[in-house]
Amino acid sequence: MIDAAMAEGASMLTRPVHALMAAGLWSDMRGANLLDSDASFYETYETAGARHAAVGCLEPLFFAEFARLLPLDERFVRGQYDRTLWPQMSAAIVDRVGQKTRDDWDRLFAATDSCVAPVLSLREARDHPHNRARNAFVTSGPL
């Protein structure tokens, strides 16, 4: 007999966060950390047409490409990890991203190393070229 609990398995996925907390590098407060909506360059933004684009430009090289194509002021590129700039950076990104549709941004960023992707609905995800190429979804009855 094997005794396995999904909750215990899921808790193992939080080990890196607990390690960061122990090192004083992660706050237990939601939205106050690099990877949970505090960083302007690791966030989801609303586009024109009320769709969304996900931005995950953690590395300076990828953020610089994102900033060049958006475009963003060079001071944000130089100060990517300066938390005092994040509110202004976020406002600038919100303004720019809101000027085009999700699909416009997808076309612009698709062939770059900018780490930007469209946020897809479940139906759109089924039909995304990456999922089709990998046969990630199969149909066994009417949808």
Can you list the domains of the chain with their CATH numbers?
Answer: 30-133 (3.30.1540.10)
pLDDT in tens, 76-122: 999 999 999 999 999 999 999 999 999 999 999 999 999 999 999 99
Mean pLDDT of 3-25: 83
Mean pLDDT of 110-139: 91
SS3 42: strand
Task: Write down the pTM of the prediction.
Answer: 0.81
Beta bridge partners of residue 54, listed in sequence order: 44, 117
3-state helix, strand, coil in the chain (%, to 5): 50, 10, 40
pLDDT in tens, 35-89: 887 899 999 999 999 999 999 999 999 999 999 999 999 999 999 999 999 999 9
The reported pLDDT for the residue numbered 143 is 64
Question: How are beta strands 116-118 and 52-56 bridged, if at all?
Answer: antiparallel
Residue 19 pLDDT more than 70? Answer: yes
Tokens 């944000």, residue located = 76
